[in-house]
């Protein structure tokens, strides 16, 4: 539910999986990852997947520094709440690559966004979700009806996968998948100004600062001992047509 009431979401056919280069500095890190288009219905076919992402997202909300939702004492963030928010429409999952079989084409040499004939289960390859999932993000309309051609997205990288450039890859892939999901443009409603990495990332990807909202979030301080009011940027970008993204 939004300030405009219920927002109807789209249900396109699954989009092809794609490969993206990953420039991580950690030893023996994969050199690429694949991204896969899922919905709640398709994600629930993989036992434990949605539960895992629910736990990671709930932990992120508990930190109180990036998303506006607040988990109150004694009020757990339920699966139903998570499903309704994060899986309201489409979710893109990033899976860390397995070593390529001998004789197979090297995906690292493929351009970012190139289609790969690899399904989600094959990409995971029997690993645990903690081992395989690099991150994910939802895409859904930011407004209803006559403005539903503008979408919004929310990104999640598990703590164990942070610091390896995965967020940058997810952001670039969003510019690929957004228009292919039928959207014309993107708006981020609340990018808190103290989230410096996100601000720099969207600026680098040619998002415009459409406005600054004073005291937009009552966030936890970095030391976790208190709270402070923080301004937020509203970012906007029109997508390139699918043939160019």
Closest by CA position to 99, among listed 125, 117, 119, 131: 125
> Residue 186: enclosing H or E segment and its boundaries?
strand 185-192
**The pLDDT of residue 6:** 66
**The pLDDT of residue 49:** 98
Query: Cα(245)–Cα(171) distance, rounded to whole angstroms?
Result: 12
Closest by CA position to 183, among listed 143, 148, 209: 148
**The pLDDT of residue 98:** 85
Q: Edge-to-edge, what's the strand order for the sheet holding 208-220?
A: 114-115, 18-21, 32-38, 90-96, 133-141, 150-156, 185-192, 227-238, 208-220
Q: What is the pLDDT along the chain (245 residues), one digit of tens a residue?
A: 566 666 666 656 899 999 999 987 776 778 899 999 999 999 999 999 999 999 999 999 999 999 999 999 899 999 999 999 999 999 999 999 986 655 555 556 789 999 999 999 999 999 999 999 999 999 999 999 999 999 999 999 999 999 889 999 999 999 999 999 999 999 999 999 999 999 999 999 999 999 999 999 999 998 888 999 999 999 999 999 887 65
Closest by CA position to 91, among listed 39, 54, 52, 146: 39
**The pLDDT of residue 102:** 53
Q: By the 8 A CB rule, do 199 and 164 touch?
A: no
At 147, list the tokens.
């403005």
**The pLDDT of residue 108:** 63
Single pTM value for the model? 0.91
Query: Cα(35)–Cα(134) distance, rounded to whole angstroms?
Result: 10
Query: Cα(112)–Cα(70) distance, rounded to whole angstroms?
Result: 36
**The pLDDT of residue 30:** 85
């Amino acid at each position: 539910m939004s300030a405009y009431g219920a927002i109807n979401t789209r249900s396109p056919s699954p989009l092809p999986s794609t490969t993206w280069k990953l420039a991580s500095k950690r030893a023996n890190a994969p050199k690429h990852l694949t991204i896969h288009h899922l919905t709640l219905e398709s994600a629930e076919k993989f036992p434990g997947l949605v539960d895992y992402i629910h736990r990671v997202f709930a932990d992120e909300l508990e930190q109180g520094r990036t998303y506006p939702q607040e988990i109150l004492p004694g009020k757990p963030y339920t699966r139903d709440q998570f499903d309704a928010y994060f899986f309201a429409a489409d979710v893109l999952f990033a899976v860390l690559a397995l070593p390529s079989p001998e004789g197979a084409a090297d995906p690292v040499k493929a351009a970012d966004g190139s289609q790969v004939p690899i399904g989600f289960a094959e990409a995971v390859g029997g690993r645990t979700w903690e081992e395989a999932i690099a991150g994910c993000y939802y895409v859904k309309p930011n407004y209803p009806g006559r403005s539903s051609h503008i979408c919004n997205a929310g990104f999640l990288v598990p703590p164990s996968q942070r610091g390896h450039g995965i967020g940058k890859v997810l952001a670039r892939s969003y510019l690929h998948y957004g228009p292919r999901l039928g959207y014309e443009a993107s708006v981020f409603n609340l990018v808190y100004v103290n989230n410096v990495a996100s601000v720099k990332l969207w600026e680098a990807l040619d998002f415009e600062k459409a406005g600054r909202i004073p005291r937009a979030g009552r966030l936890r301080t970095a030391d976790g001992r208190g709270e402070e009011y923080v301004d937020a940027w509203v970012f906007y970008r029109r997508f390139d047509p699918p043939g160019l993204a």
